[in-house]
Amino acid sequence: MENGAQISYRETVPGRWYRNYQLQLRHQRNLTYEGIVRAASWQSFGSITWPNFWQTELAVTQTMRAQDERLTRGGPLMGTPRGWNIEFEGENNDASRTRVEFGAQYGRDEDGGLVFGLGTEWTIQPGSRWELSVEPSYLRQVDVRQYLTTLAGGSAATFGSRYVFGQVDRSTYSTSVRLNYTFKPDLTLDLYAEPFAASGRYDHLGELRAARSRFLRVYGTDGTTLETLADGTARVGDAGATFDLRPRDFNVLSFRSNVVLRWEWRLGSTLYLVWQQDRGASEIARERIGISDMFDSLRARGDNFFVIKASYWFAPD
């Protein structure tokens, strides 16, 4: 169940330093059918359109502590931390031949979680024949309670099961490119390409300490042992029991692209020539990727697909 409230104020009559602006205060809650709060937040939001038609938006969100059984994948309730997040977005006049959008976000929580993102989009349309769009972005996320697996042999505080979590530090770089060119009304070229790179490092493995808690028994402390084997496997010992957790660190490269030439060679009849690339590589590695890895994805091994499609319109004489 969800409920919430919102109060807004809008000014639509242009003033000396604005064309319009809006202020909002929002409160939202997500509850189980038993009335347990899964998520709750307060958000302050403001947007303004400036005299030159540029627009900017700012949102500040405060999340409250809550309980969520989804974190344990249907197991006992688990606590979530208090946190905050700031997001800023801006864009120039939509009627400009060169359109620019940009955004940034930053957030933390009381358990050490982090989110930091940057992104922008540039769209160039110098004439009626073609348009080019480039959208690079970067995102880093530190999730201190990433679910890994459920094992037997847990304590009574977690109903006999071990709900295993880890802290994952993820980084992602991507850039999407779109090009549309019109040779003439019946002959067009469309291109889409996206190099992508991501990495994730797992640390601080542990199990839920007790139902409704947000804290972990971190392996290697509290009477447990932790040994990292040569292949990256984590071997855990606890009260005479031993179990292994497979390595989950990752480094992923991906490049996907589509080029489509469309020719309407007669009224209602169209020919498509398509070239698609799907490249990728992945490995278990703890190294954090950088921006150069995103461009390395263009050299990754992959598949090329070539497709020819034609449609013919049988029109009555």
What pLDDT does 172 receive? 97
What pLDDT does 286 receive? 85
Residues 206, 165: contact at Cβ < 8 Å? yes
Nearest to 274 by CA among 313, 312, 310: 310
For the segment 198-227, the average pLDDT, to the nearest whole number, is 95
For the segment 7-19, the average pLDDT, to the nearest whole number, is 93
Report yes or no on 316 lying in a domain.
no
pLDDT in tens, 258-279: 999 999 988 889 999 999 999 9
Report yes or no on 87 lying in a domain.
no
What are 34's two structure tokens? 């038993």
Per-residue pLDDT band for 317 (boundaries 50, 70, 90) equals low
Report yes or no on 57 lying in a domain.
no
Report yes or no on 37 lying in a domain.
no
What pLDDT does 156 receive? 94
pLDDT in tens, 37-74: 989 999 999 999 999 999 999 999 999 999 998 999 98
Total of domains in the chain? 1
pLDDT in tens, 79-129: 999 999 999 999 999 888 899 999 999 999 999 999 999 999 999 998 889
pLDDT at 148 over 90: yes
Residue-number span of the structural domain to which 211 is assigned: 101-311
Averaged pLDDT score across all residues of the chain: 94
Give the Cα-Cα-Cα angle 87, 93, 95 (nearest 5 degrees).
140
Element (H, E) at 296: helix 291-296
With H, G, I as helix, E, B as strand and everything else as coil, classify residue 283: strand
pLDDT at 236 over 70: yes
pLDDT at 316 over 70: no
Report yes or no on 210 lying in a domain.
yes
Q: How many residues does the chain have?
A: 317
**Residues above pLDDT 70, as percent of the chain:** 99
What are 301's two structure tokens? 């091994």
Backbone φ and ψ of 295, nearest 5°: -75, -25
Distant-in-sequence, close-in-space partners of 245: CB < 8 Å, separation ≥ 6:
148, 149, 164, 205, 233, 234, 235, 236
Q: How far is residue 230 CA from its own chain's centroid?
A: 32
Report yes or no on 217 lying in a domain.
yes
Report yes or no on 78 lying in a domain.
no
For the segment 178-204, the average pLDDT, to the nearest whole number, is 96
Per-residue pLDDT band for 240 (boundaries 50, 70, 90) equals confident
Report yes or no on 75 lying in a domain.
no
